[in-house]
């Protein structure tokens, strides 16, 4: 895969994550306390500017009480 696709995937996952975080009315600091992941890193994650491992994604999803499939739902389009 080319870097453009990786960037798009990271961005979409981050956008979905931010949407759920906002719906649950959690601040970055509150999510940091729940997950143990720094608020600055979470902010970059939401912007799609950091690479992440699946265990980190699991921890973040668990902190929001959402399933990974919800974070990876790209029903609103995707790069072909």
> What does the pLDDT read at residue 79?
43
Is 48 a domain residue? yes
Residue 76 lies in a domain: no
pLDDT along the chain (80 residues), means of 10: 86 95 97 97 97 96 95 66
CATH code of 42's domain: 1.10.260.40
Question: Domain limits at 26?
Answer: 3-71
CA dihedral (60, 52, 12, 18) positive or negative: positive
pLDDT at 80: 40
Long-range contacts at 54-61 (CB < 8 A, ≥ 24 apart): 57/13, 59/35, 60/17, 60/31, 60/35
Structural domain count, the chain:
1
pTM for this prediction: 0.87
Q: Is residue 50 situated within a structural domain?
A: yes
Q: Is residue 79 part of a domain?
A: no
Q: Is 70 helix (H, G, I), strand (E, B) or coil?
A: helix
């Amino acid at each position: 895969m080319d870097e453009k696709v990786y960037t798009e995937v990271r961005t979409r996952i981050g956008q979905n994550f931010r949407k759920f975080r906002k719906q649950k009315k959690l601040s970055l600091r509150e999510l940091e306390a729940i997950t143990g992941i720094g608020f600055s890193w979470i902010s970059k994650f939401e912007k799609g500017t950091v690479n992440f491992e699946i265990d980190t994604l699991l921890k973040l999803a668990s902190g929001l009480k959402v399933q990974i499939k919800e974070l990876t739902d790209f029903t609103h389009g995707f790069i072909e």
